[in-house]
Amino acid sequence: MSSIYQATFFLSVALLAIAITVFVLAVSLLGRAVTIAAREEEKVEKERKEGNEGEIKKIQGQLEDAKSKGAQVDVVGLQKSLNNLRKIDRQHDRRLSWIRWKPRLLTANWAAFAPGALFLIAAILSALALRYVETESPLPFGLWVSSLFVMLGGILCTCLTLRVIQEIAVTSEEVSFSRQKEVFVKALSEFEEIKKPALKLHWREQMPPLRMKMDTILELKFGVSLEHGECAENVTASFFLPEGFSFPGSKTLAQPEYIPIVAKMVTLAISFSAITPGIILAHDIAIKAPSSAGEFICYYRLSSRGFVGDYEQLKIVVE
């Protein structure tokens, strides 16, 4: 038996060294464990709330159904629903207890001191059993059995800590992958946003507000450029004028009443070829003023393939 007692002693000492190594690994994951535990606890509480609300609605439905039919309440069915509600509640309590315990298993008390003390006690008991092995007393065997039970307690603590470490490591990898995915998607979106065209309109002579005399014609000179992007195709510059204005010599259309902002306005759409960076495409349009004076709010809008601008105000003062 002396060889068995000796083997138990050396095994206890080896496990003591392993417990210290496990603690060094556990303490490095403690911060993540607390964060993940808080997130898991919130998730379980949400599941509990949804499950309880579902069971309560089910019970209320049974009571209302019995009341509407004037029938006797199904006591057995209600008791079964209540028992199911209590069962689900106990399951959630157990899950919450384990979630709250996981960070504790990575602290010094449970990852180092508890298993370390148990392995040390097991080593001492097996050493005492080895010392009294020559005696005919049953003491050595009892000490050895006690050392085994104490050692199993230390192994259990270490295994629980290792289990938590594994869960945290796997979850951390999932979180890391999710974050990398989000960063990649965001970077791709920003890259696509940079590639999208954005157009800008330039006034070549007169600057808004434009001034006109009644029943006169104004030659409006403007240009369109690419503000950012690689290329803009199917470029259109649209001008919207209130009733009374017109575009002499140009084909126009009237906006329907249901179009917001520019309803019933006379519209002229100027089409351009593709625009590349550093180029301004110039164009002139003729605008005829109405027979009444006043300040009029007009609009223009730029668009292309992959870009639709806002309605920009253009004030015209007719004197």
Share of the chain above pLDDT 70, in %: 89
Check: CB of residue 214 under 8 Å from CB of residue 289: yes
With 90 as the cut, is the pLDDT of residue 152 above it? yes
Give the model's pLDDT for residue 240: 92
Q: What is the pLDDT of residue 181?
A: 67
Whether the predicted pLDDT of 56 surpasses 70: yes
Per-residue pLDDT at 121 exceeds 90: yes
Report the amino acid identity of residue 112: A
Q: Percent of the chain, pLDDT > 90?
A: 7
What's the rounded mean pLDDT across residues 202-207?
84
Pick the CATH number of 198-318 from 1.10.3470.10, 2.60.40.10, 3.40.50.1100, 2.40.10.340: 2.60.40.10
pLDDT value at residue 72: 66
Residue 44: pLDDT band with limits 50, 70, 90: confident
- Boundaries of every domain in the chain: 2-193, 198-318
Residue 317, both tokens: 């003062």
Q: Is the pLDDT of residue 192 over 80?
A: no
- Quote the mean pLDDT of the chain: 82
The confidence band for 173, taking pLDDT boundaries of 50, 70 and 90, is low
Q: Are 63 and 73 in contact (CB under 8 A)?
A: yes
> The tokens of 210 are what?
């434009």
CB 304 within 8 A of CB 274: no
pTM over 0.85: no
Give the range among 7-11, 37-41, 159-163, 190-194 with minimum mean pLDDT.
190-194
Mean pLDDT of 123-132: 88
Kindly report the number of other CB atoms within 10 A of residue 285's CB atom.
17
The predicted model gives 65-93 an average pLDDT of: 74
Structure tokens at 111: 């990852």
pLDDT digits 0-9 by tens, 271-289: 888 888 888 888 888 988 9
Count of other CB atoms within 10 angstroms of residue 122 = 28
Q: What is the pLDDT of residue 179?
A: 62
- The burial of 8, by beta-carbon neighbours within 10 Å (0-12 exposed, 13-18 middle, 19 or more buried), is given as buried
Q: Which has the higher per-residue pLDDT, 4 or 75?
A: 4
Interhelix angle for 2-28 vs 30-69, to 10°? 80
Is-contact 153 118, C-beta < 8 A?
yes
pLDDT of 258: 84
The model's confidence at residue 149, banded by pLDDT at 50, 70 and 90, is very high
Task: Quote the CA–CA distance of 274 and 3 in Å, as a whole number.
Answer: 91
At 174 the pLDDT is 55
Residues 17-43: what's their mean pLDDT?
A: 81
Q: Which of 50-64, 169-183, 280-294 has the lowest mean pLDDT?
A: 169-183
| Orientation angle between helical segments 30-69 and 139-195, nearest 10 degrees | 80
Higher pLDDT, 151 or 34: 151
Q: Is it the case that residue 150 has pLDDT exceeding 60?
A: yes
**What does the pLDDT average to over 27-43?**
80
